[in-house]
Amino acid sequence: MLTDAQRQRMLSCPRERVDMVLDTDAYNEIDDQFALSMALLEGKKLNLEAVYAAPFFNERSQGPGDGMERSYREILHLFRLAGREVPAFRGAEGYLENEATPRQSDAARDLCRRAMAHSPENPLYTVAIGAITNVASALLLQPEIADRMVIVWLGGHGIHWPDNHEFNCFQDVAAARVVMGSGAPLVILPCMGVVSAFTTTGPELECWLRCRNTLCDYLCDHTIEAAEEYAKGKPWSRVIWDVTAIGWLLNDQDSLMDSRLIPTPIPEYDHHYSFDDTRPLCRYVYHIHRDALMERMIGILTGGNTP
């Protein structure tokens, strides 16, 4: 079990280069592609060891397993566009049936293996930007990894929001409860009310990303097409909030976002949070410095090749 000093140190933004893995439902929306591309291309501070495909189910899939498989293929597609690749693993084909039984997958088993090679002094940063089924399954398979990694999860809404009915959380509440009850050091990036501030527009993408490289053109085209289909001829801006989870690892001296330590909230099955002041502390992000993070993202994606 971690000491309070170890937990607080692990919940501070790392200053040195870190080992990380990314768990993503990459086919679900347009923002996962930005986050994955940043993790692949940043290079100086982030050592991306592996990428895991997370399940999802909405109008873009025929079920959680199909969503995972589509996400796996999208991960490989992003590798080709970026000209870089790391090991990629298929994740769970469904959500947790209860809080005690893991979903077996290559992703969960790989996460166990990689986390066990780390320590509280040199943790594995596990960034999750979808339903957190794979991470929860790994914790159920090998609970001792909780002390060897820092979990950075974009999920749930702000604690001031009237409900917690958020896609990444409500798909697999059992998994969220496993992770948030595991004792693993946890960084929460809430959606509505916090990272919902991280948006972009068509003209901004055209100005800063268009014609910089093949990957940037894909991100422009994919985002603008999806946003215009949704907006149906009206003005639009579009959240690309998954980027903020990568941004936390780059948040030296709070340059990209602000956060504080709070007792880890409890996600309930009625899609609200409950609270217990005796729970272990987690780091809760409450504000995004939108323009600073956008500048950092653009610099990474373009390799500094901006006008």
pLDDT digit string, tens, across residues 54-68: 999 999 999 999 999
User: What mean pLDDT comes out for the span 13-32?
Assistant: 96
Number of domains making up the chain: 1
Strand pairing category for 257-263 and 281-288 = antiparallel
User: Is 90 exceeded by the pLDDT of residue 219?
Assistant: yes
The model's confidence at residue 250, banded by pLDDT at 50, 70 and 90, is very high
Calculate the alpha carbon distances from 225 to 57, 186, 211, 231, 288 in Å. 21, 34, 17, 10, 26
The model's confidence at residue 175, banded by pLDDT at 50, 70 and 90, is very high
Residue 162 falls inside a structural domain:
yes
pLDDT digits (tens, 9 = 90+) for 151-160: 999 999 999 9
Share of the chain above pLDDT 90, in %: 96
pLDDT digits (tens, 9 = 90+) for 79-119: 999 999 999 999 999 999 999 999 999 999 999 999 999 99
Interatomic CA distance for residues 182 and 54, integer angstroms: 20
Residue 205 falls inside a structural domain:
no
**CATH number, domain with residue 292:** 3.90.245.10
Query: Residue type at 203?
Result: P
The model's confidence at residue 230, banded by pLDDT at 50, 70 and 90, is confident
Q: What pLDDT shows up at residue 306?
A: 60
User: What mean pLDDT comes out for the span 294-307?
Assistant: 88
Domain with 125 in it: 4-198+240-301
User: Is 70 exceeded by the pLDDT of residue 305?
Assistant: no
Residue 234 falls inside a structural domain:
no
User: Is 90 exceeded by the pLDDT of residue 27?
Assistant: yes
Q: What predicted TM-score, i.e. pTM, was given to this entire model?
A: 0.97
Q: What pLDDT shows up at residue 304?
A: 76
For residues 137 and 103, is the Cβ–Cβ distance under 8 A?
yes
Alpha helix stretches (DSSP H) within 171-274: 173-180, 202-208, 214-231, 243-249
Residue 144 falls inside a structural domain:
yes
Interatomic CA distance for residues 103 and 96, integer angstroms: 6
Strand pairing category for 149-154 and 46-53 = unpaired
Residue 307 falls inside a structural domain:
no
Residue 18 falls inside a structural domain:
yes
Interatomic CA distance for residues 198 and 290, integer angstroms: 6
Share of the chain above pLDDT 70, in %: 99
In three-state secondary structure terms, 259 is strand
User: What mean pLDDT comes out for the span 42-55?
Assistant: 97
Residue 212 falls inside a structural domain:
no
Residue 77 falls inside a structural domain:
yes
User: Is 70 exceeded by the pLDDT of residue 307?
Assistant: no
